Amino acid sequence: MLRIGLTGGIGSGKSTVSRLLAERGAVVVDADAIAREVVEPGTVGLAAVVAAFGDGILAADGSLDRPALGAIVFADPDARGRLNAIVHPLVRDRAAELAAEVPDDGVVVHDVPLLVESGQAADRGGHAHDLVLVVETALDTRLERLVRRGMTEDDARARIAVQATDEERRAVADVVLDNSGTPEELAAQVDRFWAEHVAPRLG
């Protein structure tokens, strides 16, 4: 099995690359989707988050009120650390379960926004990645995309500021894709990555 760690800052287009890799036959294990799953109502994850932050982070239906929690953790590095200490181990364990279901001759892509921040990019043992793929986009372009999604520019800058820098991501990358151009240019880069780095390892 070939294991690829995929990451990129918010607004970089990582999700697009994830979709393109899936179209080429990879099985995508989406850390964001798992992070939502492990704090659904009735889970030990949600109970732990409530114990750490109080009932104020619950919506009326008992589900996690993400904006309320986000307002707490994005403004407070210590609070963010406490949340990560709860959620990250649960996400890693579930991701490992999903990856274990991929056939030995398959390709699994761990789509992890915080691959660098959580220390997983440096882990080449255990649930390691054979390749780390980073999607990179100019800051102005990322801001434009996030504002189009409904964020204020200040909020977008704040989200970017708490993530790893481009330099930190490049330091762990085996391959960097530049998503500052057209969708067609990005798809061509993914094709080249697959031909040069994936297909040869699959024999």
DSSP per residue, 112-142 = -TTTTTTTGGG--SSS--SEEEEEE--HHHH
| CATH code of the region 1-26+106-203 | 3.40.50.300
Separation in Å, CA 76 to CA 47, 48, 61, 71, 158: 21, 18, 26, 9, 12
The secondary structure of residue 109, as a DSSP letter, is: E
Measured on CA atoms in the order 55, 56, 57, 60, is the torsion positive or negative?
positive
**What is the amino acid identity at position 31?**
A
pLDDT along the chain (203 residues), means of 10: 94 95 96 95 97 95 94 89 93 92 93 83 60 95 94 91 92 94 95 95 79
Q: Quick one: fold of 32-104?
A: Rossmann fold (3.40.50)
Is residue 110 within 8 Å of residue 22, measured between CB atoms?
no
In 3D space, the residue among 21, 203, 11 whose CA is nearest the CA of residue 110 turns out to be: 21
pLDDT at residue 126 in the model = 42
DSSP run (H or E) holding 111: strand 107-111
Which tokens hold the place of 160? Answer: 């970017």
Separation in Å, CA 26 to CA 19, 74, 105, 191, 198: 9, 33, 11, 13, 10
What ranges do the domains of the chain cover?
1-26+106-203, 32-104
Which residues neighbour 117 within 8 Å (Cβ) at sequence distance 6 or greater? 163, 164
pLDDT at residue 124 in the model = 44
Is residue 142 within 8 Å of residue 101, measured between CB atoms?
no
d(Cα 7, Cα 134) in Å, to the nearest integer? 5
The answer to whether the 1-26+106-203 and 32-104 domains have the same CATH topology is yes
Separation in Å, CA 186 to CA 19, 110, 141, 157, 179: 12, 19, 14, 24, 6
The phi, psi pair for 21, rounded to 5°, reads -70, -40
